[in-house]
Structure 1
């Protein structure tokens, strides 16, 4: 009888330990769930991949700067930035579901809707292109205005990219058809400079710090400047919001909490940019972005700080202005019904601000 009583006590003890262990596991699991996501939390972070059309280009600067400042982490996001040649590549990767978001030119969202695909800008990073049509110093004597680009070899980062769209818009404004120029994809930075030095392109659309490198070396000269909102307004007869962060509409609608955290991080960065000097901004960037000359990098940044949005909102006249250019220059958009409200949203930036 005593042996049986000891066995029962032992069995009861084991059952009690198992019950308490189960309760502890549930409590731990509940605790882990409550600490996942959100700014300032310590649990597992939401992973996102973002493809950027040229991380070292200054027009894309808010992407890496947001990571460097730790704002993604503050929002409970583990973000991987993937470097690509142009915004065109970013767009393709977002559509294919290879990445969660892309950073490229806003006009891509209009072109995609014309093709029956839905993608929207969730935060506007640049309110002007931050680009310039550069002419080779060797050709500067004969190319003195956009009208002189007819029949010339013109460099763009990639065919179908925002740089090609901008070039076509400039040509259209002076009566030159797209077919009356020859476009060559030459990238940016060293590859663009080499193409101009070797005479493969007579002129081309590029960004900072490539612009300043061409100027300082004497290889190229500015033909048309799009590095401020004011000069852009003059050259294109309207505003032209350029680099943004875009995502597929259905992803945004089904992941509003994640999208909000992402936009919060970018808006913090845009506000940080407008309260710090070009030198302070440059100090936060990876040193290889300077292309061996930090002073030149800072000078280039000073020349175009005004392109960065102060709050991430889409400018009120921006979508219509960009659409007007697309209607005039892009056959794929002509004759198509475009709902501009489906190409961007200020829902998340309004809350972030």
Structure 2
């Protein structure tokens, strides 16, 4: 009897020791997201479904509210990984940074904004925007550049054909549209759907559908971080790939239930509506590889906006090796 008790006790101690060792081996990653958006649903799924934990990663998530602030966090070691528009890596490289920001995993593959009007526009045509007051986004940011690109594709010059307002901080744009005189605005989800439900605006077009494939939001880290700890970056990418596949295989309602903790002021029904919009236009990338044609489309959009500082090659700022190995395995 005592012998069996002793064996059982040793087994329990072994399990406790194994668990302690396992928890002690977890790697903490400081992750900075450029904003909080349903657009990033796969990232929240990766956290909530424990895909990061399965890869031995503990995520410390922070929302940095803007591309410039997000890149500052990454470059100053306030973050290990940044979820932000790929254009920021081009800006950093053009400034002569010796430690480049490298795109290693794509999360979204279209623009995530929708054109919202104050009044209903059942027969909307892009030319209807001419001579209107348009509340724009930050100069040099992806929402604004894609917005300008789409408008130009529809024979509208944002600078001469619109009363373009661009002096409002990103986080304050929804409130400024609600209380101001602007007739049109670009909004992400779930804000766009919330405005529509509350009668404060009407979704009349999708910039994502109009602009085509583009690496709108990617995970990036400093080149030195990859050189020093490529295995951690690979484990991070594995977790994201698992989440991307999970999102592809589950309904908008199921995804909404999982990511609800990140949007406490939004109902699951509204989240599901927003997610369905993004799924319908293939905004969520199904795998983390950032393709070259998307990168070239990004540079075209930046060039059209007059914001491409330098034609930096795809191979210089994009690492596909890690994502390809993850998918292959």
TM-score > 0.5 by shorter chain: yes
* Contact 1:50/1:80, CA 8 A, preserved across alignment: yes
Alignment correspondent of 1:323: 299
Deviation at 1:47, TM superposition (A): 1.4
Gaps of 5+ in 2: 1-16
**TM-score scaled by structure 2?**
0.82
Deviation at 1:285, TM superposition (A): 1.4
Matches within 5 A, 1:1-353: 41-55=22-36, 57-117=37-97, 118-137=100-119, 145=126, 148=129, 152-156=133-137, 158-173=138-153, 174-178=155-159, 181-188=164-171, 191-227=172-208, 231=209, 235-236=210-211, 238-287=212-261, 289=263, 291-305=265-279, 306-331=282-307, 333=309, 336-353=310-327
- Per-residue CA deviation, residues 61-84 of structure 1 (Å, 9 max, x unaligned), is 222221111111111112100012
Residues 146 and 122 of structure 1, relative CA distance in 2, 3 Å threshold: farther
- Higher RCO, Cα 8 Å, sep 6+: 2
* Contact 1:88/1:160, CA 8 A, preserved across alignment: no
Deviation at 1:289, TM superposition (A): 0.7
For the residues of structure 1 that align with 2:95 and 2:257, how far apart are their CA atoms?
Answer: 42
Deviation at 1:302, TM superposition (A): 0.9
- Per-residue CA deviation, residues 22-49 of structure 1 (Å, 9 max, x unaligned), is xxxxxxxxx99xx97xxxx443311110
**TM-score scaled by structure 1?**
0.77
Residues 172 and 329 of structure 1, relative CA distance in 2, 3 Å threshold: same
Q: Which has the larger Rg?
A: 1
RMSD of aligned Cα (Å): 2.7
* Contact 1:155/1:201, CA 8 A, preserved across alignment: no
Size of the alignment, in residue pairs?
303
For the residues of structure 1 that align with 2:92 and 2:293, how far apart are their CA atoms?
Answer: 20
* Contact 2:39/2:275, CA 8 A, preserved across alignment: no
Deviation at 1:348, TM superposition (A): 1.2
Deviation at 1:226, TM superposition (A): 2.9
Deviation at 1:151, TM superposition (A): 6.7
Residues 45 and 239 of structure 1, relative CA distance in 2, 3 Å threshold: same
Deviation at 1:321, TM superposition (A): 0.8
